[in-house]
A and B are shown apart, each in its own frame.
Chain A
Amino acid sequence: MKKFTLTLILALLCVVTAGCDKDKVDVDVQKLGDNLTQKIKFEDQLTQIDEDIAKDIYEINFEKVKATAFIGSGATSEELVIFEAESKDKAKQILTLAKKHIEEQKQDYESYNPKEIKKLDNAIVIQKDKYVIICVTEDVSVEKIINNSLK
C-alpha cells in the first residue's frame, strides 16, 4: 500500500511538472507595449508606427507575425519593439533579424550621431517563447522591467 501510494505521488508529480512549461508566455503585444513605454525611461519621444512598417524595417517577410513598435523621432536610436511569432522557432528567426538590425543601426549612428552608440551597445534583444523584444534606451533597469512584465 505504501509503495503504491508513493508511486502514485511520484507519477502525479511527473505529470504536473511535465505540464508546466516555465518558458511559456502569453501576452497581448499592444498592452505589453503600452505598459513598457510607461515604465521604461526614454530620452526621446517615442511614437507608435504601423505594424507593416515595423516588419519592413526588421526585414520580416514571413506571415502571422504581430508587431507593436514605438520609434524615436530620428534624433535618437531609441525604440521599443515587440514581435509575436507563430511559434518559438519563428521567433528565433526574428531574434536573428533583430540582432542584425541593431548592428546596422550601430553602423549608421557611428557617423550620424556617435552619442547613440552606447545605447545600441546595451540594447535589449531577447526572446521569450514566441515573443521577441527589442529595446534601445539609457534606462539601466530596462531588462528588469521587461522580465517583470512577462511574468
Chain B
Amino acid sequence: MNNYTLKNRNQKTKIIFYVLFTIIIVMLSVLFLKKNLKSDAKPVPSKEASSIKTTSPLTTKQETSKSQTTSSSNNYKKMLTVPKSDEVDNSYFDDAIFIGDSRTEGLMLYTGLNNATFYTHKGLMVNTAFTSPAINLNGKKVSVMDAVKNNKKFSKAYIMLGINELGWASPNLYIEKYSLIVDTIKATNPNAKIYVQSLIPVTKSKSSSSKVFNNENINKFNNYLYDMCKEKQVYYLNISEALAEKNGCIPEESAYDGIHLKKPYCEKWLEYIKTHTVQN
C-alpha cells in the first residue's frame, strides 16, 4: 500500500471519527434539553418549546417576566383548592382574620382560638357585611368590612358566608357582593392570603326537610364560590371534605339544628384549616 493510499485512508478514518463524535454530542445535547423541558409544571406547546430551546441563556426581561407569570399562575392553579399541608399550630392564626356568620361564631367559641381576630355576627350576609353595625371597634359599633379596613395587620383572611343567602333569588348578587368583600380585603392588604371556605353542608334530615337549607343549594353555591376564586385568584378551602359523610351531609349528631356545629365538629373544622395552608 503506497503512502498516498494510506494517507487517504487515515483522513477518511478521521472524518468518520469527527462525524460520529459530532453526532454523539448533538444527541447528548438533545437528551439534556428534553430532560430540562420536562421539569416544567405545564406541558409547553411545541411552538413555545422551540422558542425556549433556541433562546440564549440571557433571555430578555420580557421573556423572563412572562415565564415568571406563567410559573406563578401555574403554582396558583395547583393551590386553588388548597391541598393538604403540614399542620400549623394555633400561633399561625395570630395575624389571621375570620369573617363569617353564626357558624364561624361557633368556630371561635368552641375551639378556643382566641388569638385570631373574628369578625362574625349572627345572620351576617355578604351585603350586611358592609352595612350592619356588628363589630365593636373602639367603643363604637361598625360594620364587618369597616372593621376589616381598619385592620392593617392581618396576613390571612378566612371567609365563610352564604348559609343565610341560600334563599336569595339571585345567586349572581351573592357572588357580586362576595367579590366585593374579596376586593376590599385585597385593597386593605394586598399581600394577605385570602381563603374562601366552602359552605359546610347540613344534616340529611335538615336537607330533606328544608326548601332553602339543603345540600343541593349548598353545592350550587360552592360551585359559584369555586368559580369566583378562580377569577379572583384566591384560595378555595374545601371544608366539606373534613365534615361531610359519603352522602354529602354532615352527621346527624354533629349539629343541634342540622346547621350549627357542635364543639367536636368545630374542632374538626379547625383541624382541617390547620392542615390546609398555603405557605408561600
Using CB atoms and an 8 Å cutoff, list the residues of chain A in contact with chain B: 44-45, 47, 49-50, 52-53, 56, 59, 71-75, 108-109, 111-113
Contacts and interface: CB of A to CB of B under 8 A. Distances in A.
Given A47-B110, A49-B110, A52-B114, A73 B261 contact: yes
B260 interface: yes
The 7 closest A-B pairs by CB, nearest first: A75-B257, A74-B260, A112-B123, A73-B256, A74-B102, A73-B260, A112-B122
Contacts, number: 47
Contacts of A74: 102-103, 105-106, 122, 260
Given A73-B255, A73-B261, A109 B109 contact: no
10 contacts: A47-B262, A47-B263, A50-B112, A50-B114, A73-B256, A73-B261, A74-B102, A74-B122, A75-B256, A108-B123
Interface of B: 102-103, 105-106, 108-110, 112, 114, 121-123, 136, 255-257, 259-263
Nearest to A43: B256
Contacts of B109: 47, 49, 53, 71
Contact of B121 (A49, A56, A75, A108): A108
A45 B112 contact: no
Contacts of B110: 47, 49
Given A44-B256, A47-B263, A50-B112, A73 B106 contact: yes
A47 B261 CA distance: 11
Nearest to B261: A73
Given A71-B109, A74-B102, A74-B103, A56 B259 contact: no
**Listed residue (A74, A108, A111) with the most chain B CB atoms within 10 angstroms of its CB:** A74
A112 B110 CA distance: 21
